[in-house]
Amino acid sequence: MTDRIQNIANGIYDNVGGMKNVNKIVHCMTRVRMEIDDYTQVDLDKLKQVEGVMGVVEDDTLQVVIGPGTVNKVAQAMVDMAGVKLGEPITHTTSGKDAVEAKAAQVKADVKKKNQKPWSKALKSIANIFVPLIPAFVGAGIIGGIASVLGNLMLAGQISGDNWAHIITVLKIVQSGVFAYLNIYVGINAATEFGASPSLGGVIGGIIMLTGVTPENPLPNIFTGGDLSPNQGGIIGVILAVFLMSMIEKKLHKVVPESIDIIVTPTVTLLTMVMITIFLIMPIAGAISAGLVGFINWILGVGGAFAGFMLGALFLPMVMFGLHQILTPIHLEMITNNGYTLLLPILAMAGAGQVGASIALWVRCRKNKQLTEMIKGALPVGILGIGEPLIYGVTLPLGRPFITACIGGGIGGAVIGLFGNVGATSIGPSGVALIPLINNGHMLQYVIGLLAAYAGGFLATYFFGTNPEMRVEQ
């Protein structure tokens, strides 16, 4: 950081009543925007005289005009001084005792962060990316779950009529508003987490969707010679791409002259990342997908409890990496040839194992109010077969419960595989919502498998899935 940037940041703080009078800082293309606590402490005349400040605008926030290129550096300097991120509330202390306690807490947090293992940091970043999406997951998930139950009842012939069809369509529109464009939301949040421009992160998420690419004019996979598919790479591909993007953008901000930074940096960043994302990240994900399809077909050929356990245990990691969509052709082929897919009921056990694991966390970590409140919101959606809230909001950020949830899914899958011939007559959500689609005569076996996955996930997590840190009062 240059002395000039630091001087502008200090000058702004000095003339708005100090850092203690600022509640939040964000920036746009040319302005630092601050939420001010007490406007009587703001000296507008002196603020305008700070070298580097081009003007001041009073609106719902106090906006200091600095200009493109410089504004993001000044805003970053100001939040760094406050010890927060852009857009985060700035906490203030009111007494010497509070200051000492705050400093001690900060030092403890810094030491803990420094000693944190790389995989723990990665899980923490994933949590920070997905936790803000939990309300959308829960609301849209419940609505989508209702739509799925109604849709499955219609497919099973238990309800009919245009009115029901219209209701289901409207409900699915709400669900699609979240999950169809999840890559974009993840890109925005990942950019915020990695200190990049959120709008650029959203564009990276949109790139993986290959909008505008048609079957008649596809983009090539440079490794295989085949065609790239939309969403190849999934959510993890988005996070990786945005992480690389953040490093490129930060580097460019340092070397590009401020007068042209607003034009050059986003343009070069996006051009670089679109090449890396489309022609490197997506093909690699495609190779992984193709390998998984071959592995799954081999597992299905083995059959029985072993196949059920393996598929049930591995499905949650596939969802996490956004690779579960590659199974759709297998489902459709089975339905075309046999009238039902044997794969879907087994994979549904993964979500059930996660439900059992979350219930165990609720019981075992009941003093951790932050965790239990998250589980309360996400659990009903998980029971209906929408697993993302529990994955990204509960089990995956904690690490160990994600593994025990996979074990629970494997146990349920083994039970379904042991029964044999438990199939779904159409593709639909898992969990309880799938019951109406189970082929005739096997609904009871499917329910037994669900209960086994619930129990397996619960017991594995209760005894092996927590640590003292999760169980302390928060």
Distance CA 249, CA 272 (A): 10
Distance CA 404, CA 380 (A): 20
Give 117's DSSP letter.
-
Question: Measured in whole angstroms, how far is the alpha carbon of residue 246 from the centre of its chain?
Answer: 17
Catalytic annotation on 28? yes
Please report, as a single letter, which amino acid is at residue 433: A
> In angstroms, how far is the first alpha carbon of the chain from the final one?
37
Q: C-alpha distances in angstroms, 392 versus 127, 357, 427?
A: 6, 14, 23
* Residue matched to tokens 């003093």: 367
Give 26's DSSP letter.
E
* Residue matched to tokens 């209701």: 167
Report the candidate in 131, 11, 37, 92 with the shortest Cα–Cα distance to residue 389.
131
Q: Exposed, middle or buried by CB within 10 Å (0-12, 13-18, 19+), for 6?
A: middle
Q: C-alpha distances in angstroms, 229 versus 202, 214, 240, 416, 445?
A: 19, 10, 18, 32, 36
Three-class secondary structure of residue 324 per DSSP: helix
Q: Exposed, middle or buried by CB within 10 Å (0-12, 13-18, 19+), for 121?
A: exposed
Q: Which of 28, 100, 105, 109 is catalytic?
A: 28
Q: E strand or H helix at 261, and its extent?
A: helix 261-276
So which residues are the catalytic ones?
28
